[in-house]
Structures are given as structure tokens and as C-alpha cells.
């Protein structure tokens, strides 16, 4: 997991809840300095600290780890949909075409790798 991405997502969620860094660090039971390091991507939280973070934010670990966890696929799809919601139909078609080509290429590469392993 990319520490910077995780930290950025944690910061984003904290700010959406209008919580200061100090207040949230206290709620999680870590120092303000350490929590700031997590948000900046300088440090990775332990599993216990991550559990405290998601419980205090009332979010799922899947949401924070969506690039790494297979079960988090709906979060990734929602994120993509949100990013594209204001695009024109022409731009959406271009994106769809690119995604289809990329998906086909990924599947072909996976198939080739499977054949080479056999």
C-alpha cells in the first residue's frame, strides 16, 4: 500500500468530518506528530491504529485500501463514476473506448502469462 495515498485518504476523511488533527489524534490514541506523519505519508499506521482510525471515522478499511483490496472494487467504481459525472457524452465515449481497449489488453496479458507458466 502506498503510504502517501493512504495518508491522503485519511486526511480527506478527517477534514470531511471537520475534525482537527489534534482532536482526531487524541481520539485514536496517538500523538499529533505521529498522526500528521501518517497523513503526510511519512509513516504507516499499525493494524491496531488503522482499526482505531476507521472506527473513529465510521468508514470501512476497504474504503481506505480500495486500491489493494479486491472486495473494495465498488469503491473504485464509485470513484471513477464520480470523476466522470460532469463530462460530456463525447468525452464519456472516449473514456469508455479507452477502458475497453485497456481491459482487453490486460486480459490478453493475463492469458499469456498463464500460458507461459504452464
pLDDT per residue over 59-99, tens digit each? Answer: 888 888 887 777 767 888 888 999 999 999 999 999 999 99
Average pLDDT over residues 88-115: 92
CATH (one of 1.10.260.40, 3.40.640.10, 1.20.1250.20, 3.40.630.30) for 3-64:
1.10.260.40
Residue 47 φ/ψ, nearest 5 degrees: -60, -45
Is the pLDDT score of 41 beyond 90? Answer: yes
Distance of CA 1 to CAs 30, 107, 115, Å? Answer: 21, 23, 29
* Of the candidates 91, 71, 27, the residue with the CA atom closest to the CA atom of residue 60: 71
The two counts, helices (H) then strands (E), for the chain are: 7, 0
CA angle 6, 78, 47 (to 5 degrees): 30
Q: How far apart are CA 60 and CA 43, in angstroms?
A: 20
d(CA 95, CA 60): 29
User: Using one digit for the tens of pLDDT, what is the confidence trace for 20-35?
Assistant: 999 999 999 999 999 9
- Give domain limits for the chain: 3-64, 73-117
Angle at Cα 11 formed by Cα 42 and Cα 72, nearest 5°?
95
Amino acid at each position: 500500500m502506498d503510504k502517501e495515498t493512504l495518508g491522503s485518504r485519511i486526511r480527506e476523511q478527517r477534514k470531511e468530518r471537520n475534525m482537527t488533527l489534534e482532536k482526531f489524534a487524541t481520539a485514536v490514541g496517538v500523538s499529533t506528530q505521529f498522526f500528521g506523519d501518517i497523513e503526510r505519508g511519512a509513516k504507516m499506521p499499525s493494524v491496531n491504529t488503522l482499526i482505531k482510525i476507521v472506527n473513529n471515522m465510521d468508514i470501512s478499511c476497504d474504503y481506505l485500501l480500495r486500491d489493494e483490496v479486491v472486495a473494495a472494487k465498488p469503491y473504485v467504481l464509485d470513484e471513477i463514476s464520480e470523476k466522470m459525472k460532469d463530462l460530456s457524452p463525447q468525452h464519456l465515449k472516449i473514456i469508455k473506448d479507452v477502458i475497453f481497449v485497456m481491459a482487453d489488453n490486460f486480459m490478453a496479458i493475463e492469458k499469456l502469462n498463464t500460458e507461459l507458466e504452464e
